[in-house]
Amino acid sequence: MTDVPAVVPAKPDTSGRSQWWDVWDQFKTHKGALFGAAVFLFIVLAVTIGPLLWPLEPTYIDIRSRNIGPSMAHPFGTDQLGRDILARMMAGGQVSIAVGLTAMLISVVLGAFIGVVAGFFRRLDGFLMGLTNLFLALPLLPLLLVMVMLFRETLARSFGPEMGTFILIVSAIGITSWMQTARIVRGEVLALKEREFVLAARSIGTPSRRMIIRHILPNVLSPIMVSATLGIATAIITESALSFLGLGFPPDFPTWGRLLFDAIDYLQQYPERVFWPGLAISLTVLSVNYIGDGLRDALDPRIRGR
């Protein structure tokens, strides 16, 4: 502790270094988060770029080479119809991650909106928090199952089986998972409203709309971002659970949950087939959870820079 360098006088910030560089610096120190980010990036790249490089189609049926084990031509083997499992895994990953991201977006936008409005306008607070508590008391998984069961046919007719199911599942997951975000955001907004800069902004006559966009939203961005990351994980798990119960996407449209569900029928003969989709789901969720952990530390200015 003796060779502490002399305090450098604070230079005027000319490098264009924003707070996001500080966040990144703190994020880098969290080994698990960095590793999780690398794994997540790898999975996303594998499912987006992978199909372009891999010649086999996920729906191509080659009945003569069915049920073969891992080989050079089929690294993960083939299924009961001779479809290449690697290609199906990549196609399934695209859907699973797309569902995760979209459902997270819906739930975060909804949660942040309700949280900010409830925290900012005292008149709406009672009603909106009552609504949040009501949603928290609903048995969500049964209701999700019922919703999917009821609206699948209708939406499939108007948007086609794949797109209809996608819209249905994404919106069903979105509107049943916004409550935690809303509660956290409301708490933050309530605390922010007592701060001097809000008072200052109000004293110069800032209208509510600009107040929310300019002053409130940027300050509640970090809890929103953390719950967004964790939201991806829950959305992917929920979609897989629905597919696993047979209420997800149609059979010829693979997702990771669907592949796992299909592999269960061959559990006795080919137990390795359940392994790949399950591993993909778990790895994605694990990496996203670690990213969320690191992000929480990195976005907290009290921890950052220590």
Partner 1 sequence: MLTFIIRRLLTAIPTLVLISLIIFLLLDLAPGDPLADQPLSIPPEVRQKMRDALGLDSPAYIRYLLWAKQFFWVEPLYFIDWLVGTNFADGMQRIVSWQFRAPVFDIIVQRVPQTLWVVGLAYLVGVMIALPIGIISAYKQYSWFDQVGTFVSMIGFSVPPFFSGVLMIVFFAIMLPWFPSIYDTTLVVNDFESLGQQIRQMTLPVMVLALQTTAQLSRFMRASMLDNLNHDYVRTARAKGMTEKVVVLVHVLRNSLIPVVTVIALGIPSIFGGAIITEQIFKVNGLGQLLITAIYANDLPMVQTLAFIFAVLIVACNLIADMLYGLLDPRIRYD
- Is 306 among the residues that bind partner 1 (CB under 8 A)? no
| Residue 41 or 149 having the CB closest to partner 1 | 149
**What are all long-range contacts of 297-305, with beta carbons under 8 Å and residues at least 24 apart?**
297/26, 297/27, 297/30, 297/33, 298/23, 298/24, 298/26, 298/27, 298/30, 298/33, 299/23, 299/221, 299/222, 299/225, 299/226, 300/222, 303/26, 304/22, 304/23, 304/25, 304/26, 305/22, 305/26
- Is 2 among the residues that bind partner 1 (CB under 8 A)? no
- Is 75 among the residues that bind partner 1 (CB under 8 A)? no
Least distance CB 156 / partner 1 (angstroms):
12
Would you state the structure tokens that stand for residue 271, as one six-digit string? 């137990």
190 CB neighbour count, 10 Å cutoff: 15
| Residue 116 or 285 having the CB closest to partner 1 | 285
| Residue 54 or 135 having the CB closest to partner 1 | 135
Least distance CB 287 / partner 1 (angstroms):
9
| Residue 32 or 82 having the CB closest to partner 1 | 32
Name the segment binding partner 1 (CB under 8 A); options: 72-80, 90-98, 133-141, 194-202: 133-141
Phi, psi of 66 (to 5 degrees): -90, 155
Least distance CB 270 / partner 1 (angstroms):
10
Contact pick of 44, 98, 140, 211 for partner 1 (by CB under 8 A): 140
Contact pick of 38, 49, 63, 138 for partner 1 (by CB under 8 A): 138
Least distance CB 16 / partner 1 (angstroms):
37
- Is 126 among the residues that bind partner 1 (CB under 8 A)? no
Distances (CA, A) of 126 to 38, 178, 223: 43, 17, 22
Q: Which residues, numbered 147-186, are part of the site for partner 1 (CB under 8 A)? A: 147, 149-151, 153-154
Least distance CB 114 / partner 1 (angstroms):
17
- Total binding residues for partner 1 by CB under 8 A? 39
- Is 302 among the residues that bind partner 1 (CB under 8 A)? no
Contact pick of 63, 73, 134, 199 for partner 1 (by CB under 8 A): 134
Biggest alpha carbon distance in the chain?
77
Is 117:185 a contact under the CB 8 Å cutoff?
A: no
Residue recorded with tokens 């955001």:
185
Q: Render 170-185 in DSSP notation, one character per residue.
A: HHHHHHTS-HHHHHHH
Contact pick of 155, 260, 295, 299 for partner 1 (by CB under 8 A): 260
- Is 276 among the residues that bind partner 1 (CB under 8 A)? no
- Helix (H/G/I), strand (E/B), else coil: 84: strand
Q: Which residues, numbered 226-255, are part of the site for partner 1 (CB under 8 A)? A: 233, 237, 240-241, 244-245
Q: Render 205-270 in DSSP notation, one character per residue.
A: T--HHHIIIIIIHHHTHHHHHHHHHHHHHHHHHHHHHHHHTT-SS-TTS--HHHHHHHHHTTTTT-
Least distance CB 244 / partner 1 (angstroms):
4
Residues that bind partner 1 (CB under 8 A): 133-134, 136-143, 145-147, 149-151, 153-154, 233, 237, 240-241, 244-245, 257, 260, 264, 267-268, 271, 274-275, 278, 281-282, 285-286, 289-290
